[in-house]
Every structure is written in structure tokens, then in C-alpha cells.
Structure 1
Amino acid sequence: MILFVDFDGVLHPARAVMGQHGPELAGDGSLFMWAEPLAELLAERPHVQIVLSTSWARHLPFEQVRDFLPVSLRRRVVGSTWHSIQTDPVFSHGLPYSYWQDATRYQQVRRWVTLHRLRRWAAIDDDADGWDDADRTRLVHTRADSGLSDPAAMSRLAELLRGQP
């Protein structure tokens, strides 16, 4: 199973900014403050792999984006939607680079799903714009200020990981 993971509004509040020394959280809290509950949930599910769907990938190299995650999550990362746009000719085949500049996160995720012929997948994101009704049941839509600290979001994710729609 593939889990598409956004960072802002999922693993920490959606107040991350690019500071002088890299990403930092504006206001209270810390970057990746809600990553541990995800790691704990996935610990029981070794078959789950992660694809990064975060917008951080637009601004930073893949390895750097991946390496912000705790080691237990980092080991599961098999790719990034944005880096596929830049490095995989099949991923972008027939679509100009300008298309990807405005593509929604859902469009990027859907392209990955289609090309890799995924049958089992889910996404965690605070951005639900443009999600097709047919795929909306695969989305754990978090609130920008609470992300995975919300017990309802974690419960929904656990259901999806168990294969329940």
C-alpha cells in the first residue's frame, strides 16, 4: 500500500515558512510534532510505503525533504510526486512543465496512482481542492491547525490502512 503524505497541516500546523536556515514553524509548536503518531500507527503495518506529496518538494532536493522525517518514516519513502515531475519522463509525458506548476496535489497524486497502477493507496492532506468524488474516500482530510493530532483523522487513517473504505 502507498500512503501519500503532505507535511504542512498534517505532520505539524500549516504555518511552516522557509527561514534563513531552512523550514521553520511560525508560532507555537515544532516541525513534525505529529509525526510520531503516524510512525506508531505504521509500525504495525510494515507493508505501507510513503510517497511525499508535500509542496516542500518544489523548493528542496528530494533527499533533504525525505530526511526531515523521523527515521522510521524516512525508511518507508519510495518517492515524491513533485520530484517525479522533474525526473521521470513517463510521469510528465504529454504534459508541459507549466501544467505541473498549477496542478493540484490531487492531480499529482492521481498521476502517480495511474502510472504505477496502484490498487491500494490513501493520502493524508489538509488540501482537499479538486479531489474527484471517486477518490475522495481515500483522502484523510486534516485540519490545517490540528493535522494528525486530531483523533478523528488518526481513526480514519487507521480504517483506510485496514482496507475499509
Structure 2
Amino acid sequence: MFLDYDGVLHPSQVVMGENGPAFIGDGELFMWADRLAPLLAAHPHVQLILSTGWARHLPSEQVRNFLPVALRRRVVGSTWHRIQTDSAFSRGLPYSYWKDATRYQQVRRWVTLHRLRRWAAIDDDADGWDVADRTRLVHTQADRGLSDPAALSRLAELLRGKP
């Protein structure tokens, strides 16, 4: 499962400062993360691939370590860090392509290279998603993220294998 942070695990009002991410609205970072862990508990095989923009600014371990332990243990990689460290991931694509690539393009590249058949993504950014893959996207609202019962319900459906 591909996981974005802003607009999913907390509202999207986050800026990346010199000392890392800072929340600039009402609430706090990862305020809805505790809603994801119980849904995943019944699915121990589900792994997380971080597709958050935070990965463009911070080392992969640091990005992962912001998550609660129950989620952190499931992380197997990050799309952005893979772009930077794995030549096979970017084979045939210049680095400049990735600077402007949508998150969907990053996710799709991972899916293709790893030949994933069952996968989903949780993101507040639906830009550029192919019609064929939109059923795999739990599209959250930037200000509600996983606090939205409809998003949680859709995620539960996908985890049960219902497209």
C-alpha cells in the first residue's frame, strides 16, 4: 500500500522548514495515524511504501520514523528514495522526469517494476491517475484525511479485496 502523509495522516497544512516538517494549522502531525493501524492489523501481509513528498527533503529512515511503531514496521521503501538509489527504477528516464512526476507516476513505476497485482494507495492528490487505476486510490480530502469515515470505509473495502 502506497502512503502519503499530508492530507492523509493529518491535514495538509504542513511546511518543510530547516528543522523538518512543521504543522501550520489547527491540529498536529499524524493526528489520524491511529486510524490506519487498526485497519491494517487484520492484514499482516500489507506492506507500506511511502509516497509522501517529505521524502524529497529528508532521509528515508527519518521519513519512516515519524510514523507510529505499528506502521513503521510495515514500511518497505519509499518511491522518491527509490528514484534516487536504484538505477533500475529510473532506467530510461532522466532525473529531470522525476522532479515533475506526479505521485501516481512514481507509484505506477513501483507497481510495474515489482509486478504488483494487489495494491492500493492512500493520497489526497488524485492528479494524473489513470482511469484503470483509480479504483485502487483511496482519495482523501486534504483537510479531513483519514478522519473521514468514507475514506476509512473505502480503505477497508480495498483491504478486503473489493475494488
The answer to whether TM tops 0.5 is: yes
How big is each residue's C-alpha offset from its partner over 1:26-70, in whole Å with a ceiling of 9 and x where there is no partner? 011000000001011111110100000000000000000000000
Q: Secondary structure at the match of 2:10?
A: coil
| Residue 22 of structure 1: aligned partner | 20
| Residue 123 of structure 1: aligned partner | 121
Q: Which amino acid aligns with 1:98?
A: S
Matched, 1:76 2:74: yes
1:86-97 matches, within 5 Å, as 86-97=84-95
1:12-51 matches, within 5 Å, as 12-51=10-49
Q: Which amino acid aligns with 2:139?
A: H
Unpaired runs of at least 5, structure 1: none
Q: Secondary structure at the match of 2:80?
A: helix
Mapped to 1, the partners of 2:102 and 2:25 lie a distance apart of 27
Identity of aligned residues (%): 80
Shift of 1:152: 0.2
How big is each residue's C-alpha offset from its partner over 1:83-127, in whole Å with a ceiling of 9 and x where there is no partner? 000001100000000000000000000000000000000000000
How well do the aligned residues superpose, as a CA RMSD in angstroms?
Answer: 0.6
Give the number of equivalent residue pairs. 163
Q: Which amino acid aligns with 1:62?
A: S
| Residue 62 of structure 2: aligned partner | 64
Mapped to 1, the partners of 2:24 and 2:16 lie a distance apart of 10
Runs of 4+ in 1 over 6 A off after TM superposition: none
